[in-house]
A and B are shown apart, each in its own frame.
Chain A
Amino acid sequence: MKDDSIRKLDKAKLPAWDEIPLGWALLSEGSDDFKTGGWRSQHPVLDPEKCTSCLFCWIYCPDSAIRVKDGKMAGFDESLCKGCGICSTECPQGAIKMAEGAGALKEGE
């Protein structure tokens, strides 16, 4: 039995059961391996005029799809945003509106 403390999951090889991190706790990489962008049937649209870069959206986004550059909100990740609309609901400035369709999400837009 190997030490089952929390450790980085070695994705290069599939781990045996005794190499699985304790409680499936993952060191920060979270779910960004998991390309959920294809699920999107709505897409978020940012109004940069209203955005104060409070980063609430970054905290709430379940799929690490909020891009941050130099501590500022920098748009959405095309491959990760599943279009759930949580960021839009949680944004205290009303700076994110949801629009129909998958859209094209470009960093910085």
Chain B
Amino acid sequence: MKLLTRKVVGLTGDGAAAEAMRQIDPDVVAAYPITPQTEIVEKFAEYVAGGLVNTEFICVESEHSAISACCGSSAAGARTVTATSSQGLALMHEMLYIAAANRLPIVMINVNRALSAPLNIHNDQSDTFGSRDAGWIQLYCENVQEVYDTTIQGIRIAEHPEVQLPVMVCLDGFILSHSMERLELLSDAEVKDFIGAFRPRTNLLDFDKPITLGAAAMPEYYFEHRFAQSYALDRALERVVAVDQEFGAKFARSYGVVEAYRMDDAELAVVTLGSLAGTTKFVVDRFREEGVKAGSLKIKLFRPFPIEAVAAALKNVKAAAVLEKAISPGAPGPALFSDVLGALYHQGVKASLISYVAGLGGRDVPPKSITRIYNHLQQIAETGRIGRILNYLDLRGWQ
């Protein structure tokens, strides 16, 4: 057995992201502080001030400017990283589409936080779910180690010649961003070696090969352009898998695009993402101790959505629930639920699927609440009747 001697530290999610950024040593970081992402920018600004990185750090006056500067620097051939959260991401919305459509491999760490109004600084996933059609790759993290690893992987994924798309690394506000956990760090040299040198495919500053980026496209061109971009995002799934496998082979940690936990013979399953995946596994273990065939499915990669992997994991369950911290007003169901349902339809899988919205605005989702979801699934499995499809966990006044 190869004994790995790794530096073990205690870091918060924000600290881990900042440490990964230090090791990545991007050419440009343009970012604006916002709770609960602030610690990432603060910490990284210290690294810049202390000369620990060679990064050009651009202090901007808003998130719209931050992502605009990132688009410019990435198009100019600079490896570019930024970080934001909630209202900041909302303010970036316009430029998110431009970053993806211009195929700029920016990596952004987004600390998931509820959207106003009412003003709330705590965790849910409405911010990044609201950006799901912007064309970015979206990866969600369960714990602090995963934040660190995914940030490093994100660089490789974004910059892969066949991908060339921006990547969002999402972590739950406070639950991960401000909780200190044990994690193992790679050495600076290992990170450098893994991410390699940035070989930009667009370089606005190359006077010998001048290009125009961001030109208008009339109706004769626009549709084809948008399809090409969408196709590239679909194809990125293979690259996400490959980068994760290579990371796993080198550093003995990998995550997959989904993680099926005790799903082999599972009859009941909760599908979720982010830090909820950890709590759900804990509840699964409890049910397994009682002989209930429970399992859970963590969605690590939300965009592009891993249709086949999700359907394969759920094809034999008797009842499943999608648990997510976001609401889609007026929609037939919330975002993750709708995607899981779509994946099942794509693959011809019939499953009794219900939705649970939980934890909006940072409301705690403890094991005892998730236990009630499994109890509900047991009922559905026994009676064969789905009943109410859209459910709300721990919402006062809702039965």
Contacts and interface: CB of A to CB of B under 8 A. Distances in A.
Interface string A2-33: 00111000000011111110111111111100
Interface residues of B, number: 26
Given A4-B228, A17-B228, A22 B201 contact: yes
B193 interface: no
Interface string A27-68: 111110010000000000000000000000000000000000
- Interface SS of A by simple majority: loop
Contact of B224 (A15, A22, A26): A15
B212 A23 contact: no
A23 B101 contact: yes
Contacts, number: 69
B216 A23 contact: no
A24 B215 contact: yes
Contacts of B216: 31, 34
Nearest to B235: A1
A6 B201 CA distance: 8
A22 B103 contact: yes
A14 B227 CA distance: 15
Interface in B226-272: 227-229, 231-232
A27 B85 CA distance: 36
A6 B209 CA distance: 10
Interface string B190-222: 000000000001100000011111111100110
24 contacts: A1-B231, A4-B232, A5-B201, A6-B211, A14-B220, A15-B221, A15-B224, A17-B223, A17-B228, A18-B228, A20-B224, A20-B225, A22-B164, A23-B229, A24-B214, A25-B102, A25-B211, A25-B212, A27-B210, A27-B211, A28-B210, A28-B211, A31-B216, A34-B216
Interface of A: 1, 4-6, 14-20, 22-31, 34
Interface of B: 101-104, 164, 201-202, 209-217, 220-221, 223-225, 227-229, 231-232
